[in-house]
Amino acid sequence: MSRPKNSRDIRMQKPYQLLRLKYKTFVVEWIPDHCGIKGNEIADAFAKKGTTIMQSIDWPMTFHTMKTLIRREFHTSMCDELKARTNEKRCTVAHSEITGWPRIEAVAEFSLRTGQDDMSKYLHTQSTCILRKLQEEIGMSHLIWCPA
């Protein structure tokens, strides 16, 4: 175990060194203490998956490194699952094109692209609006060419 970075690392260092002196393996284990908490099903699934993986580590690893590796794996698998579930939805396509825009513009554009805008209620009130006389529905394409 390398130099401790926080109090938890310090607390783990002594038991780790004692076990290592006796030629024992030190393993951090998941304990089902949070059963019944919303979202714990995902943690349970990962814990079950982790029991089938061969865990042989021959080099010292800090608690901080372990946490980082676990978080990275969890984040990667959750992102992959989310991409798979939202692959065909309109909001995914709309979101991918406006990433990096200023927040105000991105929110307005996203609302228009996904059809969650409610502009037809208040844009018809302007006298310069061509669609006001026609009583047509206002959508994203209207905003591009309407002088109002």
For 63-115, the pLDDT digits (tens) are 888 888 888 888 888 888 877 877 766 555 555 677 778 888 887 777 777 66
CA dihedral sign, ordered 124, 130, 132, 136: negative
Burial level of 26, CB count in 10 A (0-12/13-18/19+)? middle
Q: Over the stretch 116-144, which tens digit does the pLDDT of each residue have?
A: 666 555 555 566 666 666 665 655 556 65
Whole-angstrom CA distances from 130 to 44, 49, 114, 117 are 58, 60, 24, 19
